[in-house]
Amino acid sequence: MVHEERILRDPQICGGEPVFRGTRVTLRTVLASLASGDSVEEILADFPVLKTEDVQAAIQFAAASASEDLPSPPTPQIERPAPPQSR
């Protein structure tokens, strides 16, 4: 499943905020519910228009966004000891 199939942005819907296709439920709302500890079942009970695949798409969207927005950690430099000097 690709999150683009389930999540869309349309300036005419919720001011262009990402929503789940065919609904006015925002991605932000579902991600906030997940972040506060709600289970998928609780989210689906609160928003009966959503399907399990919508919640999975929200997680996939967040993961993709995080990988794009987070800077990559710098590559550690390995320090090698200097070779012993000959006398």
What digits encode the pLDDT tens for the residues 25-62?
999 999 999 999 999 999 999 999 999 999 999 999 99
Q: Indicate whether 86 belongs to any domain.
A: no
CATH number at residue 17: 1.10.10.10
User: Which domain range does residue 57 map to?
Assistant: 3-68
Q: What residue spans of the chain are helical by DSSP H?
A: 27-35, 40-46, 52-69
Q: Indicate whether 52 belongs to any domain.
A: yes
Q: Indicate whether 80 belongs to any domain.
A: no
Cβ-based burial of 52 (10 A; exposed 0-12, middle 13-18, buried ≥19): exposed
Are 22 and 30 within 8 A, CB to CB?
no
Q: In the prediction, which pLDDT does 79 show?
A: 73
**pTM score over 0.75:** no
Q: In the prediction, which pLDDT does 27 show?
A: 95
Is residue 80 pLDDT above 80, yes or no?
no
Are 30 and 50 within 8 A, CB to CB?
yes
d(CA 67, CA 14): 26
The total domain count for the chain is 1
